[in-house]
Amino acid sequence: MVQSHAGQIARYAVFGYPIGHSLSPVMHNAAFRERGIAARYEAWEVRPGELAAALEAFRARDGRGCNITRPLKTEAFRLAGRRQPWAERTGAVNTLYWEGTELAGANTDAEALSALCPPAGPGEAALVVGAGGVGRATVAVLEGLGYLVTVAARHPEGVVWHPRVVPWEAKGEGRWRVVVNASPLGQEGEPPWDSLPALEPGYSVAVDWVYRPRLTPFLAAARQRGCGVVDGLTLLVEQAALAWRYWFGQEGPRAVMLTAAAQVEPA
């Protein structure tokens, strides 16, 4: 049981900007109720450059741990005095907690993707669509699983951090064991796909970080072709459940979190 200080209830939160769309409070509060944990989980809107001050205020209110979303993950990485291995590999932190007075950071996004993707067989390759922060972290995870990773980018000349980059139009070519959409394409309110990445029936596994809608056009096409799929809501729940290891020493209840998140209607 989480013990509060001076009668205060223990607080957990997600920090980001904007933050109104986040499903994290719904998932974690449902999990707290199911496990009988005397705590509440909040959403804090924090602009870039303001994370250190927000964490100080959060800690003063009996804040115990938090999740970090866009655009604060690299800022959280810099603030963490101690970092877990996946945070070091990706250069980003999405989970913060305190060890005594020291702020520590982990990347459970990366841990979730690593857990849900199949490891590479000999010579197997993977494609990452999108070259932003999510794409960069995804590349690190897939390389850690043994894949030869290629990135498809709209502006390949700007992707100086990776040696294998192809133009956006080439995403429909190649033979890939794993294909990950690390772009906003397919998300509600975003532009539709111009053309879908290459998927080999019965061989490729399609992964999409987008979770609204849960079955994106990319995943629907993959399923029609007999490919395995990992949807964004499953990834979201997995990273949330893994964050509990750093806060409570146990993993969160995935089924409870998934049910709570799935019941939320898009705004």
Which positions are catalytic? 73
> Pairing relation of β-strands 95-99 and 102-106?
antiparallel
CB 37 within 8 A of CB 2: yes
Strand segments (E) across the chain: 10-16, 39-45, 63-68, 82-83, 95-99, 102-106, 125-129, 148-153, 165-167, 178-181, 205-208, 228-230
Closest among 89, 133, 117 to 176, alpha carbons compared: 117
**Beta-bridge partner residues of 105:** 83, 96
**Beta-bridge partner residues of 151:** 128, 165
Closest among 24, 21, 79, 23 to 48, alpha carbons compared: 79
